[in-house]
Structure 1
Amino acid sequence: MLFGIEWDTSSAWAFAWSILPILLRGMIVTLQATVVGFVLAAILGLLLAMLKASHCRAIAWPARAITEFLRDTPLLAQLFFLYYVLPEYGIVLPAFLTGALALGLQYSAYTSEVYRAGIESVPRGQYEAARALDLSAGRIFSAIVLPQAIPRIIPALGNYLVSIMKDVPVLSVVSVLEMLNVARIIGDRTFDYLIPLSMVGGLYLIMTLVASAGVRWLDARLPKQGVPLK
């Protein structure tokens, strides 16, 4: 029994059906961690991209150093640092939030490069025309550059969304009960790993296919000339 749910091991189908509810609970945790991690990565990545594009070296160089550090160190090391080191300095976060933060920080380094490529793809004439209209730098970025860059980076951001989803099982090392960790616990208690792990693989396949289809749908419908941001 796990979370008050009993399973029947008398047959494969009965066993699979009995453990499905608990795996679906783990899937919800997986999806929640994916969404929170991706939102953090998207926001922090944009911030890093803006800082790296600064003409002030005192701002751009630290941002580049942070990006390289996040990109070149393992996700697991960053997760352990947040979970075990921060409490020594009085910063104690729940395991789920710590894991989502680690995912967001790790992938913000990658999304910052996606933003950079999208921003650089905007024709220089757009900047020159905006400056001729005496628009401020902030207005140029928010109203002209970013709306044109977003449609161009949707496929790349979608790839990182799927990557974050597949990295969520790493959070099991800090006791987050995501889907794969739940399957492992079921296997430990029933000595049957084939069925729960196979079901997790199938559920991951479904989730990644749905996410990829959603990204393609969004990419096909966003106006290529830019999206209006208010």
Structure 2
Amino acid sequence: MTIALITGANKGIGHETAKQLLALGYVVYVGARDSERGEKAAAELGARFVQLDVTDDASVHRALATIRSDEGRLDVLVHNAGILANDALDGPSALRAFDTNAVGIVRVTEAALPLLRESSNPNVVTVSSSAGSFWAVTNPERPEYHLPIPLYSASKAAATMLTIQYAKTQPGIKFNALEPGTTATDMTAAFGIGRTTEESARVVVRLATLDADGPTGTYQDENGELPW
């Protein structure tokens, strides 16, 4: 069995990623901040649930302790939890955006590293965004060029950088970040744009299921590596 944990998996891309990994025979833990929604999603999927708030150290450690107790290892970690943080451009909003979208990656990764080291083929995937790519936001031909979402963009740039740095410092574990494609979710509803979660989740699953010889330290979309 291959054991996977997905943060923010009660809806959107995370939920669909869980569905697709379950179809491949993986044991999937749905991590969600809201227990009621998370338990409902896990039950619908046939997955397992752990309460996991990426902004709360105690919550993160409890979730990983549950997986350690139940499984003894973790093979796949998908950093999917994130917020748009587009309500205001001020200090509290910035702290909230970075705490969820970037610092949360550090909290969960650090708690998960001992379990990932027990895996024979550990994969860590960060659902980042080209909204945080300097190449994309300065390219008039890219949709990100037209999206004024500074806190989301800056925190996703940090998320990608953290992923690349973890790949350097943890050579026994594959770390890759991705642009899933503009997706129609609750987060993008205000913009009225995006493709299905099924299409975008396939990008996540491809990186989550890399074999032992797969790449690490990359930033990719469905067509391969991207500049950022």
TM-score bucket of the superposed structures, by smaller chain: under 0.3
Which structure is higher in strand share? 2
Choose 1 or 2 for highest CA Rg.
Answer: 1
Structure 2 length-normalised TM: 0.27
Relative CO higher for 1 or 2, CA cutoff 8 Å, sep ≥ 6? 1
Q: Which protein has the bigger helix share? A: 1
Give TM-score scaled by structure 1 length.
0.27
